[in-house]
Structure 1
């Protein structure tokens, strides 16, 4: 299970791909990365104990940027990707799925974006869906700006896994790896963890081709994926509730250093976005997040323009009822 020797000088970008019995489309995926206009990268490919022609196909690629890993047993996507992360040396970590295709400028544009936006922890790309023959089915457009993505992430996952480039420091701040017990939905769990502490973005350019076919993992494990997504969401809401309680009690409690990334009014805005996103979940989280936002910044124009409908009025009333008790708790 030892990786091949890699170049001495670390690359700026580490592209990580795991493949299990992916010989049908693997050559297209690999060639799409090797053909990038940005060439300062290492390409870590983990063969997750494939039993088809995957090992032989990988062996045919003679490129010093490729780092090959071979798992002795099938680990599943999350743990196989974690093996790749363990040897990755790039400042930025990019993903690539074994049945998809990255367009030539993808890495270059994502590197440029992260270099110019230091508070963004991960950036995805707009994707086109293709069929097994590579014919375009549709363009999958999602929110691109942080505010809408923060809200949307509490409803579903709007960021295509294979299209993402992450800042290594942002990844390390939340544990440096995927949750290994999630065989599916591991990306959603990671995006939720990272978006609590960092901005997120999606490039408007179509830079990724996502292949929709019967053999894809998301098709085979839909029930498991839904359950894992639900668990990831509930875990995220609980973490954010704990964070909110700490923020409103500051300076009477000690805060983690990463909370200094945003000012108190900026945290207020984030909790308001989260309140909007959590409306479908309920369980008291929307009102709790809205109340936290109000206490952190009661004069925010975002707050007073939020939720002009019935739900918004209810959240404002809930926040107002809780403001006095929260401030009293802050002074204890």
Structure 2
């Protein structure tokens, strides 16, 4: 069989949702794929769930010890033999026509590097919320600046040749935000993005999600923004970029002088009209305007307190 899609499916020691996730892939209406299950230092109990499947499309890659999610995904990138890579997590559910619809879109739109989709967030079996992500390339790229509303990793389908030619890998220095970092590198290498405007995945939120573990996440988000700011706003000086970065971070304390300087820098950034990486400048202005207005409220609040004293 010459698969048309390589499904990268890392598995850690979490068995609660594994069977449902595997079967959602094996039950796809599009059948011409290989399922690359990367066993990342599994216990015998979790490994036994995987070995019970007898499907020739399954290929198992075993790590003798836990190497981390980035290493697992990179093993999948290196092993993939199909022209498209589909990403999947071991606690989510791919809806039946996900691969069929994404494959058809990618085949008819050769200019698109990454195709994601909308999805449904599951907080528990009864509580579900449809989530809509931006459709166009420029808005998706601009949304990388706010991290969490651009491309959902387990909805993504990516062109394998683009990854190989660009020498892309997941960065192990970003264990919680590795996907965000990866997509920024795709953007830097000239890639384009699209989100199908229909729900193709049930995305499970629970205490075990990497992105739910807040310690370290904000640090990694800040590091990604540190890469993005000179890409989107190359006219800023080093000091201006540093202050803007601080202004975009949540729960970061600023002095009154820093806050006022940051407002000046944000105004300068919002005036930029040139396009550098395919970003949507209007969307970037909306994002900056949100942080600008929040900072103005903070400055005004401090000023009122000073006058009261």
Common topology (TM > 0.5): yes
Distance in 2, matches of 1:31 and 1:117, equals 29
Distance in 2, matches of 1:284 and 1:20, equals 44
Distance in 1, matches of 2:274 and 2:5, equals 37
- The change in CA–CA distance for 1:174 and 1:136 in structure 2 (over 3 A counts) is farther
Distance in 1, matches of 2:75 and 2:117, equals 24
Match of 1:115 in 2: 107
Distance in 2, matches of 1:192 and 1:210, equals 22
SS of equivalent residue, structure 2 residue 145: coil
Match of 1:190 in 2: 182
Q: Choose from 194, 204, 222 the match for 1:201.
A: 194
The C-alpha deviation readout for 1:134-181, integer Å capped at 9, x for no partner, is 334211112122222122122223211111111112323442321122
Superposed counterparts of 1:1-332, under 5 Å: 9-51=1-43, 53-132=45-124, 134-158=125-149, 159-196=151-188, 197-219=190-212, 221-239=213-231, 280=248, 287=268, 291=272, 293=274
Q: What is the CA-CA distance between 1:14 and the residue it aligns to?
A: 0.4
Distance in 2, matches of 1:216 and 1:294, equals 35
Q: What is the CA-CA distance between 1:217 and the residue it aligns to?
A: 2.3
Match of 2:258 in 1: none
For the Cα contact (< 8 Å) 2:116–2:196, is it kept in 1? yes
Q: What is the CA-CA distance between 1:37 and the residue it aligns to?
A: 0.8
- The change in CA–CA distance for 1:171 and 1:286 in structure 2 (over 3 A counts) is farther
For the Cα contact (< 8 Å) 2:273–2:281, is it kept in 1? no
What TM-score, normalized by structure 2, do the two folds share?
0.75
Distance in 2, matches of 1:71 and 1:128, equals 31
Q: What is the CA-CA distance between 1:112 and the residue it aligns to?
A: 1.1
For the Cα contact (< 8 Å) 1:12–1:90, is it kept in 2? yes
Q: What is the CA-CA distance between 1:75 and the residue it aligns to?
A: 0.8
Where does structure 2 lack aligned partners over 5 or more consecutive residues?
237-246, 250-261, 290-309
Aligned residues between the structures: 263
SS of equivalent residue, structure 2 residue 171: coil
For the Cα contact (< 8 Å) 1:16–1:93, is it kept in 2? yes
Distance in 2, matches of 1:136 and 1:18, equals 26
For the Cα contact (< 8 Å) 2:24–2:94, is it kept in 1? yes
SS of equivalent residue, structure 1 residue 162: helix
For the Cα contact (< 8 Å) 1:192–1:233, is it kept in 2? no
Distance in 1, matches of 2:181 and 2:36, equals 22
Match of 1:315 in 2: none
Aligned alpha-carbon RMSD (Å): 3.2
Q: What is the CA-CA distance between 1:19 and the residue it aligns to?
A: 1.0
SS of equivalent residue, structure 1 residue 223: coil
Q: What is the CA-CA distance between 1:28 and the residue it aligns to?
A: 0.5
For the Cα contact (< 8 Å) 2:123–2:204, is it kept in 1? yes
What TM-score, normalized by structure 1, do the two folds share?
0.70
SS of equivalent residue, structure 1 residue 154: helix
For the Cα contact (< 8 Å) 1:121–1:199, is it kept in 2? yes
Where does structure 1 lack aligned partners over 5 or more consecutive residues?
1-8, 246-278, 296-301, 312-332
Q: What is the CA-CA distance between 1:294 and the residue it aligns to?
A: 7.9
Q: What is the CA-CA distance between 1:109 and the residue it aligns to?
A: 0.7
For the Cα contact (< 8 Å) 2:83–2:159, is it kept in 1? yes
